[in-house]
Amino acid sequence: MTELPVPFQPNQHPSRAQRRSRADRWRRDAVEIAAVFLAVAATDLVSDVVVHGHDGRMVLAASALALVATAVFHSWWEHRHPHGPPGPEPAAPESAESGAALPPADTTLWRLRATVSDAPGSLATVCVALAELRVSIISLQTHPLPEATVDEFLLRAPRALPRAALAGAVARAGGREIWTDPADAHDLVDLPAHVLALATRTALDAAELPVALRKLFGQCTIRQFPAAAGQADAPSLDGHLMRLPMPSGELVELSRPHLPFTPTEFARAKALVELDAVLGPRVPQVATRLSLPAGTDLTVRRADPSDKAEALAMHRRCSSSTLRQRYHGPVADADRYLDHLLDARHGQTLAVQSADGRIVALAHLMWDSDSAELAVLVEDGWQRRGLGLDLLRRMAALAAEAGVGTVYAVTQAANTALIGAMRRLAIPLDYQVEDGTLVITAHLAGAVEQLPSPWPAVPGR
């Protein structure tokens, strides 16, 4: 009969580690028992000395004093020499983490863009160079190029760090075409959320498209040109210049001399323009009541191309001098401007409507590069009632909401009514006169709180 092998059972015999653990436990128990017997013997010896010795009481008193002195000395020593970890005190690392621990008053925000090679470790080298300057990276965007990558940082740096030192460190780390610009709290936004918010504003109002493009790309110049006859323009990108055709046939041109556009930025702009084309003309139906001192109630609302007939009728009721002061040209040309002014893609137009449905005043806010032009037309019979000042305030508030830094009005030097209304805005003004034409520029920075909301109430139209 064949004998079957017995399977190995690991628990039949204790391992070497188990035997060592049992031996250690026996030794520890023996030491504890010996310590107990020693303590009992010492206690018996002390009691015999105290009870049967001649100086028992002195021994107890001396022991108590020794214990008190030891306690006092130990307390003093602990106060003078607190416990700490053994070894030398670890030094604080000179890194981005230590830079982030700086108080906000000692730091400043920077936007930095640099082109780096598309190779493993190139971005890490730039990050290490920033960390050595105690610069924290708050956010990072990457714009891929065919043979490189454009990295855009939002940084928090020590206030004492010069711009040249920041750019020099990035250059030594392999960055090129470096651009830096001071940033502020408005840049502390999540980029996808920011783009979605701009797309939402554009979807609600066609006049927001130029504003969204400016907010998306920062300081850039935006111009609109009529389309060439018989020529269909296609979107194009050429370094510092971007061209985008509009649904109306016009061409939008964006230029940024200090910083070239990337293909990623071109794709974002193209997506916004395509969204505008899909949605078509649109003007939000917002309105509010305006009560004049004489007790007349008017309605202020956004105007659109459907208001052209009423606007032309108001032109007929205006005097030649009123039209000339508004349009700065022949009175016969006033009507042909309305198609442009009522198109929301060029700006925002407000209409003041009386109770019988007639338009008695128009105000225009027209985007112009990084600024906006204000213009107001009030029918002769409704002048000197505060309509012009109210419309100017609403237009300035709309411009401030759109992020425009300055607005300007072009008029004749003899138009004292408009000059007085601009002064009553309580906003810093600049004046420039040339050949009888007066340009009044209002600076909105820092004056937003002084401007009322353009739509304090939003009832239906």
Query: What is the per-residue pLDDT across 448-457, written as a single tens digit (0 to 9) for each?
Result: 666 767 766 4
Residue-averaged pLDDT of the chain: 78
The answer, yes or no, to whether residue 100 has pLDDT greater than 60, is no
Report d(CA 303, CA 285) in Å as an integer: 9
Q: Is 417 helix (H, G, I), strand (E, B) or coil?
A: helix
The answer, yes or no, to whether residue 459 has pLDDT greater than 60, is no
Taking only the tens place, the pLDDT of each residue in 140-184 is 888 888 888 999 999 999 999 999 999 999 999 999 889 998 887
Map out the domains of the chain with their CATH numbers. 97-186 (3.30.70.260), 191-279 (no CATH), 287-450 (3.40.630.30)
Report d(CA 3, CA 207) in Å as an integer: 96
Q: Which residue has the higher pLDDT, 194 or 391?
A: 391
Question: What interhelical angle do 263-279 and 208-217 show, nearest 10?
Answer: 170
Q: Which residue has the higher pLDDT, 20 or 151?
A: 151
347 conformational bin, left if phi > 0, alpha if psi -120 to 50, beta if neither: left
Residue by residue, DSSP assigns 315-364 as HHHS-HHHHHHHHSS-GGGTGGGHHHHT-GGGEEEEEEE-TTS-EEEEEE
Helix H or strand E encompassing 137: strand 136-144
Query: Nearest Cα to 116, choosing from 77, 139, 145, 81?
Result: 145
Question: What interhelical angle do 208-217 and 191-204 show, nearest 10?
Answer: 170
pLDDT of res. 285: 78
Q: Which residues pair with 144 in a beta bridge?
A: 149
The answer, yes or no, to whether residue 436 has pLDDT greater than 50, is yes
The answer, yes or no, to whether residue 118 has pLDDT greater than 80, is yes
Lowest-confidence range among 72-76, 268-272, 409-413?
Answer: 72-76
pLDDT of res. 6: 43
Report d(CA 399, CA 282) in Å as an integer: 19
pLDDT of res. 12: 47
pLDDT of res. 359: 93
- Label residue 289 by pLDDT band (50, 70, 90): confident
Residue by residue, DSSP assigns 220-255 as -EEEEEPPPTT-----EEETTEEEEE-TTS-EEEEE
**Residue 276 one-letter amino acid:** D
- Say if strands 241-245 and 251-255 run parallel, antiparallel, or are unpaired: antiparallel
Query: Nearest Cα to 444, choosing from 379, 388, 380, 374?
Result: 374
The answer, yes or no, to whether residue 385 has pLDDT greater than 90, is no
pLDDT of res. 22: 61
The answer, yes or no, to whether residue 93 has pLDDT greater than 70, is no
The answer, yes or no, to whether residue 127 has pLDDT greater than 90, is yes
Which 8-state DSSP code applies to residue 380? G
pLDDT of res. 362: 93
pTM over 0.75: no
Lowest-confidence range among 8-12, 268-272, 276-280, 435-439?
Answer: 8-12
Helix H or strand E encompassing 172: helix 163-172
Q: Which residue has the higher pLDDT, 32 or 310?
A: 310
Q: Is 280 helix (H, G, I), strand (E, B) or coil?
A: coil
Report d(CA 375, CA 325) in Å as an integer: 10
Question: What are residue 134's phi and psi, to 5 degrees?
Answer: 60, 40
